[in-house]
């Protein structure tokens, strides 16, 4: 049977103390509810119905790239009321998987297992055993048969001793669900319409109700405050680190690595502490990443080394290249094979040719550097006149002396040399030496400025 999914994401999340809707708070660099949507997409659901309310514009903006049916819950009157907003979209002849939007670590395999259990029952619940179930709905059984879910505030003292709890995730037939939703009432301590009441309705009709459990309680742990957000973030990062290590990546300290996107890796990669990966990053084989580096939407090819405290964003680092320490490669930076940038070098929209190097204290913007060129310390390509950007071309084998300023548009020819301290405003042809310095003048009895 086909199935659709209802994701409950309408809550404000008051305990987050934030203007951002709770389900948009990030885990691993993306909204927590996006993790759930991504997992659901893998299951092959025919439709994903998102029940939303608080911060509706923010939700629609952040999640607009997904194929969702938006179900508005203007007033938050409980989980049953939330699912009622999706009821018009639900077909009688389909199963409906109901998920909560604040448990981002739920695994595809756990949901597949829940769906499989439903094939042999009228209704399947995802439950979890907790050492401390305070605040959670308790699973009431008569023998093996589930008969009800009682919310903590409505539970008797004996019911509060039960360790098996409700996760808020369940699957049932669409026709049954709509009938039970229409019969809900809010006669309880909270004055809300509980989705959990449908369990008792199903039991009274003699429906078979089976349970499934996740492999780990962390999968179904919800997030209600910043402390829980941080805890789930660390659990998520631990999962990512373990998966990478199983692929052959050496993480010098797995607890100090953050993956906030997608990472494609080769073999024999070593990553030091406090490295952050964002967006889509690809790392080839035999690559070393030093401590405190940030890699964003970049490609690092085989046998490259990224030294400590370097930042790469939308950059490509070729084979056998060396970057840093303390280097910054901004969007559009391309390092060809065996090139090098050293400490405190910044590149932007620049191609550094094969074997070329800029070892320290240099800015290269809107520049194309040929092969085997040497860029001396303190060199700046002056690419911006305050309004427009201009390009600098540096030929193969060129040597740029320290503390030089190349005022774009500029062309430095093949094997040309620029003397240290020069401000170059004209083309330097192949094999020429350019020296562009003011004549030194020493002023006697110079009076330094005085502090006023």
What confidence tens digit (pLDDT) does each residue in 177-234 have? 999 999 999 988 788 999 989 999 999 999 999 999 999 999 999 999 999 999 999 9
374 appears as a binding residue in the annotation:
yes
pLDDT for residue 53 is more than 90: yes
Q: What residues contact residue 439 under an 8 Å CB cut-off, 6+ apart? A: none
- Same domain? For 110 and 167 the reply is yes
Positive or negative, the CA dihedral 409, 390, 412, 363 is positive
Q: How many domains does the chain have?
A: 2
- For residue 444, the model assigns a pLDDT of 81
Query: Distance between alpha carbon 225 and the CA centroid of its chain, in Å?
Result: 19
- Same domain? For 178 and 290 the reply is no
**C-alpha span between 84 and 238 (Å, rounded):** 37
Q: For 423-443, what is the mean pLDDT?
A: 91
| Mean pLDDT (the chain, rounded) | 95
Question: Which pair of tokens denotes residue 189?
Answer: 């301590």
- Same domain? For 189 and 272 the reply is no
398 appears as a binding residue in the annotation:
no
Is residue 215 exposed (0-12), middle (13-18) or buried (19+ Cβ within 10 Å)? Answer: exposed
Q: What residues contact residue 382 under an 8 Å CB cut-off, 6+ apart? A: 405, 406, 407, 408
Percentage, residues of the chain above pLDDT 70 = 100
Q: How far is CA 77 from CA 82, 85, 176, 190, in A?
A: 7, 11, 21, 9
Q: For 102-111, what is the mean pLDDT?
A: 97
243 appears as a binding residue in the annotation:
no
9 appears as a binding residue in the annotation:
yes
233 appears as a binding residue in the annotation:
no
Q: For 312-331, what is the mean pLDDT?
A: 98
Q: Which residues of 128-155 are buried (b: 16+ CB within 10 A; e: fewer)?
A: bebeebeebbbbbeeeeebebbbbbebb
pLDDT for residue 19 is more than 80: yes
pLDDT in tens, 57-68: 999 999 999 999
| 136 found inside a domain | yes
* Nearest Cα to Cα of residue 39 among 91, 97, 94: 97
Q: For 11-37, what is the mean pLDDT?
A: 95
Q: How far is CA 372 from CA 247, 275, 339, 368, 396, in A?
A: 36, 31, 8, 12, 6
| 101 found inside a domain | yes
pLDDT in tens, 279-305: 999 999 999 999 999 999 999 999 999
- Same domain? For 215 and 257 the reply is no
pLDDT for residue 440 is more than 90: no
431 appears as a binding residue in the annotation:
no
| 106 found inside a domain | yes
Structural domain harbouring 185: 3-220
Only one residue has tokens 């026709």, namely 175
- For residue 443, the model assigns a pLDDT of 79
| 298 found inside a domain | yes
CA atoms within 13 A on the CB side of 234: 7
CATH number at residue 298: 2.160.10.10
- For residue 191, the model assigns a pLDDT of 87
336 appears as a binding residue in the annotation:
no
Q: For 33-47, what is the mean pLDDT?
A: 96
8 appears as a binding residue in the annotation:
yes
**C-alpha span between 174 and 95 (Å, rounded):** 5
**C-alpha span between 98 and 89 (Å, rounded):** 13
- Same domain? For 373 and 427 the reply is yes
- For residue 333, the model assigns a pLDDT of 98
- Same domain? For 401 and 357 the reply is yes
| 451 found inside a domain | no
Decide: pTM greater than 0.85.
Answer: yes
| 403 found inside a domain | yes
| 332 found inside a domain | yes
22 appears as a binding residue in the annotation:
yes
- For residue 425, the model assigns a pLDDT of 95
pLDDT for residue 34 is more than 80: yes
Q: For 338-358, what is the mean pLDDT?
A: 98
326 appears as a binding residue in the annotation:
no
348 appears as a binding residue in the annotation:
yes
284 appears as a binding residue in the annotation:
no
Q: What residues contact residue 217 under an 8 Å CB cut-off, 6+ apart? A: 128, 129, 130
**C-alpha span between 235 and 233 (Å, rounded):** 5
Catalytic residue IDs = 360
CATH number at residue 26: 3.90.550.10
- Same domain? For 51 and 192 the reply is yes
- Same domain? For 36 and 72 the reply is yes
- Same domain? For 14 and 134 the reply is yes
- Same domain? For 391 and 257 the reply is yes
* Nearest Cα to Cα of residue 96 among 59, 127, 124, 120: 124
- Same domain? For 123 and 195 the reply is yes
- Same domain? For 213 and 290 the reply is no
pLDDT for residue 169 is more than 90: yes
Chosen domain end from 220, 238, 259: 220
- For residue 354, the model assigns a pLDDT of 98
CB atoms within 10 A of CB 238: 14
> Where residue 144 falls among pLDDT bands split at 50, 70, 90?
confident
290 appears as a binding residue in the annotation:
no
| 235 found inside a domain | no
174 appears as a binding residue in the annotation:
no
């Amino acid at each position: 049977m086909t199935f659709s999914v209802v994701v409950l994401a309408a809550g404000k999340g008051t305990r987050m103390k934030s203007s951002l809707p709770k389900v948009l708070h990030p885990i691993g660099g993306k909204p927590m509810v996006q993790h759930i949507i991504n997992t659901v997409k893998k299951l092959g659901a025919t439709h994903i119905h998102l029940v939303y309310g608080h911060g509706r514009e923010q939700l629609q903006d952040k999640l607009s790239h997904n194929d969702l049916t938006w179900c508005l819950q203007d007033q938050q009157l409980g989980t049953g009321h939330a699912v009622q907003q999706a009821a018009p979209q639900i077909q009688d002849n389909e199963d409906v998987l109901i998920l909560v939007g604040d448990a981002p670590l739920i695994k595809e395999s756990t949901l597949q297992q829940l769906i499989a259990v439903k094939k042999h029952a009228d209704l399947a619940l995802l439950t979890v055993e907790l050492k401390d179930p305070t605040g959670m709905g308790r699973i009431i059984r008569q023998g093996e048969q589930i008969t009800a879910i009682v919310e903590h505030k409505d539970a008797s003292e004996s019911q509060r001793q039960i360790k098996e709890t409700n996760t808020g995730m369940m699957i049932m037939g669409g026709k049954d669900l709509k009938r039970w939703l229409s019969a809900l009432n809010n006669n309880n301590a909270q004055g809300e319409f509980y989705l959990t009441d449908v369990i008792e309705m199903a039991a009274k009709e003699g429906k078979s109700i089976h349970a499934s459990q996740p492999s780990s309680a962390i999968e179904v742990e919800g997030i209600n405050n910043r402390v829980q957000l941080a805890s789930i973030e660390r659990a998520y990062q631990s999962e990512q680190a373990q998966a990478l290590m199983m692929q052959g990546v050496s993480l010098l300290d797995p607890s100090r690595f953050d993956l906030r996107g997608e990472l494609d890796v080769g073999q024999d990669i070593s990553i030091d502490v406090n490295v952050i990966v964002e967006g889509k990053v690809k790392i080839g084989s035999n690559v070393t990443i030093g401590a405190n580096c940030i890699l964003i939407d970049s490609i690092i090819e085989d046998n490259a080394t990224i030294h400590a405290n370097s930042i790469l964003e939308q950059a490509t680092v070729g084979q056998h290249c060396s970057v840093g320490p303390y280097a910054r490669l901004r969007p559009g930076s391309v390092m060809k094979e065996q090139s090098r940038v050293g400490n405190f070098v910044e590149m932007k929209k620049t191609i550094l040719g094969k074997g070329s190097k800029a070892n320290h204290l240099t800015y290269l913007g809107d520049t194309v550097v040929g092969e085997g060129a040497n860029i001396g310390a303190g060199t700046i390509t002056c690419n911006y006149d305050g309004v427009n950007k201009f390009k600098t071309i540096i030929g193969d084998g060129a040597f740029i002396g320290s503390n030089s300023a190349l005022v774009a548009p500029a062309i430095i020819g093949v094997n040309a040399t620029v003397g240290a301290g020069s401000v170059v405003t004209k083309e330097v042809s192949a094999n020429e030496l350019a020296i562009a310095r003011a004549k030194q003048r020493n002023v006697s009895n110079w009076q330094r400025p005085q502090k006023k």
